[in-house]
Homo-oligomer: A and B are copies of this chain.
Amino acid sequence: MPVGTAATVKGISTPQLEQTGARMVLANTFHLHLQPGEAVVAEAGGLHRFMGWDGPLLTDSGGFQVFSLDAINRIDDDGVVFRSPRDGSRIDLTPERSMAIQRALGADVAMAFDQCPPYPASEAAVAEACRRTHHWLERCVASHGGGGGSSHQALFGIVQGGCFPHLRAESARVVAAMDLPGIAVGGVSVGEPVEEMHRVVRQLGPLLPEGRPHYLMGVGSLREMAIAVANGFDLFDCVLPTRLGRHGTALVAGERWHLRNARFRHDHSPLDPSCRCLACRRHSRSYLHHLFRSEELLGRTLLSLHNLTTLLRFTTAMAEAIGQGCFAEDFAPWEPGSPAAHTW
């Protein structure tokens, strides 16, 4: 899922987004609550119509952003009180409030309101966050209409537990027992060593209930997605492709190329000859270099498009390999230096 924080994948129009191969898009509840406010989105007929995107949409719960703020006044079992980074006003966010906001936004999938502890955090702090997350999940389910599947919006629960295997196992058991239509793993990609994330993915894969989507939150690098898919994960989101693109970095052949670099000034070949995105089809490395040297908006759009296209080609190739029975051979274990890695 490309990330469309404020109801737009930064710098990319919806027709361009469709051309990347994107199927499902994530939007951020916290940002949309602050601007334009869920009431405006609801008036427009919901997020799909507001942003002009017909495909599936998922909203996060807002919790991740709130817990990243410096302006938190209070966290307790009821919820979180913080100051709006927009105008300093007091905002209370509770499981019920998050569900109500997400209901008004009207995405296809809403996420449960959870507490995502930072990394590193003590075992006691992570255990406390798990306990609260599980308590909040019950309230989310009750508020959402029971069972997590209102007719128009699915509710996904979130497994926490940091890097503590027994807390992860316990959280997976509790969340799986809620029998929701999808299940997510949070608390990864928060600064932990990548090996820790691999351990969590490998531990949880077999513990999550089959027959419904498994969503690994905040992960979007090729290797980590391949390892997660090998362990049964289906959904990912990551701001990296668009953020890198806006800053002049392209994902090419498994590397990060900085297009501002002088070595591209006279390089008139396509960015990635294997890619069919607009940047690669119509333009050269030299032109992209020039756009970034000139601080032109088009450079940001083109590299964002390219990076999203690359990630989505990769996930599509994994899906096709699964369908053809050759995933294990082609992608798992997918490590830098392996033949599969080389082609990406």
Residues of chain A at the chain B interface (Cβ within 8 Å):
6-8, 10-16, 31, 35-36, 40, 43-45, 50-52, 265-266, 268, 278, 282-284, 286-287, 289-291, 293-294, 296-298, 300-302
Contact = CB atoms under 8 A, between A and B. Distances in A.
A290 B40 contact: yes
B297 A35 contact: no
A263 to B, nearest CB: 13
B36 A6 contact: no
A297 B7 contact: no
Nearest to A54: B282
17 contacts: A6-B291, A6-B294, A6-B296, A7-B287, A10-B298, A11-B297, A11-B298, A13-B278, A13-B301, A14-B282, A31-B294, A35-B293, A35-B294, A36-B286, A36-B293, A40-B266, A44-B286
Nearest to A282: B52
B282 A8 contact: no
By Cβ-Cβ distance, the 5 closest A-B pairs, closest first, are A52-B282, A11-B297, A6-B294, A36-B290, A8-B298
Contacts of A44: 268, 284, 286-287
Given A6-B290, A52-B283, A298-B8, A268 B13 contact: no
Interface centre among A265, A291, A298 (most CB of B within 10 A): A298
A302 B301 CA distance: 13
A301 B278 CA distance: 16
A128 B56 CA distance: 66
Given A44-B268, A265-B40, A302-B13, A284 B50 contact: yes
Given A268-B43, A294-B35, A286 B10 contact: no
A4 to B, nearest CB: 10
A204 B6 CA distance: 51
A287 B6 contact: no
